[in-house]
Amino acid sequence: MATHGARGRSGGRPTLEEVAARAGVGRGTVSRVINGSPRVSDATRAAVEAAVAELGYVPNTAARALAANRTDAIALVVPEPETRFFAEPYFSDMLKGVGAALSDTEMQLLLIFAGSDRERARLAQYLAAHRVDGVLLVSVHADDPLPDLLAQLEIPAVISGPRSSAETLPSVDSDNYGGARQAVEHLLSRGRTRVAHITGRLDVYGAQRRVDGYREAMSDAGLGVDEGLIEAGDFTEEGGHRAMAVLLERHPDIDAVFAASDVTASGARRALRDAGRRIPEDVALVGYDDSAIARHMEPPLTSVRQPIEEMGRRMTDLLLTEVADRRPLASRGLERRQMVLATELVSRSSS
């Protein structure tokens, strides 16, 4: 019986040599079976697997990773304050997708915040020590030095949306331009003509593309683009409230608003109610993300759904492919991939 096989002859955890002896094969053969090599016969594989089960052998993943010059860990880096990460559903949905993609792997996930200069400096030292195999970067701003640092350090990285149209790193994003057009065209189809837009942070390329989509939809409808109907926001509730108040003062005849996020829309809603405007009777309102916030607002918020969990999964799959590719990063330039996933307008009572 092997009921006490979890301890080897030395009284500690079973060793690779003890598994080899139990299976009647060499140490190298056991290593090949454990690492999934096809260069082992079915009979030998079965014998080794039986010995592993009988002894309760657990592979030393740390030693294997060291031998392969790997850490078996990736980092999800968020260059934002922790307060924003926990306040916005976007980040938790992204994390769900990343976790789902890693569930069948041996990779560990590290969550790292880099919202301040001190945190960024500490992160740079950590990355320079090559303590992770790759990095997922979310909420990347145009002037963020982290992507360039990762390239210099030869650390594979995937970002959640390009920094510009000339992006060289692999990225996964939603169709920000198309989603914005959907939102504005929906409002126009409801007979609204004074459609305002509260932007996201304009140092984020995705926010710029949403502005582009808004502009094109208004222009194509023959309404032109009134710059006074566009007000900068920052993806936060307070930013949405402030921007909406400015817009109402500037253009009291606004009859619709497209907000760059559901969180922004919730702030805009508060400002509209403060001003005595009814939603949607006086002002129709559309957000972006289709988060839980949209479903729980009163009235429920029409919103552009972007597949955030799917984005997290695709980013992780792409990063794992990059990590497995042993070629120098510079030699893979022509194979960089930028994925763009489709969006969908979800119509609710706010419009």
% of the chain at pLDDT higher than 90: 55
Q: How many residues belong to the chain?
A: 351
Backbone φ, ψ for residue 36 (5° rounding)? 75, 25
Confidence of residue 294 (pLDDT cuts 50, 70, 90): very high
271: tokens are 């400002």
Digit-coded pLDDT (tens) for 101-131: 998 888 889 999 888 888 888 888 888 888 8
Block residue for tokens 């009814």: 278
| CA–CA dist 335, 337 (Å, integer) | 6
Dihedral angle computed from the Cα positions of residues 75, 77, 82 and 84, in that order, rounded to the nearest 10 degrees: -130
User: What integer pLDDT is reported at residue 125 of this predicted model?
Assistant: 87
Say if residues 286 and 259 touch (Cβ distance below 8 Å): yes
What number of other Cβ atoms are within 10 A of residue 160's Cβ? Answer: 24
Least confident residue range of 69-78, 151-160, 224-233 = 69-78
Rounded Cα distance between 263 and 170, Å, is 28
| Stated pTM of the model | 0.76
Identify the residue with better confidence: 5 or 271.
271
Place of tokens 């990762």: 150
Contact 77, 139 (CB under 8 A): no
Q: What phi and psi, each to the nearest 5 degrees, are found at residue 123?
A: -65, -40
Q: Count other Cβ atoms within 10 Å, centred on residue 295.
A: 13
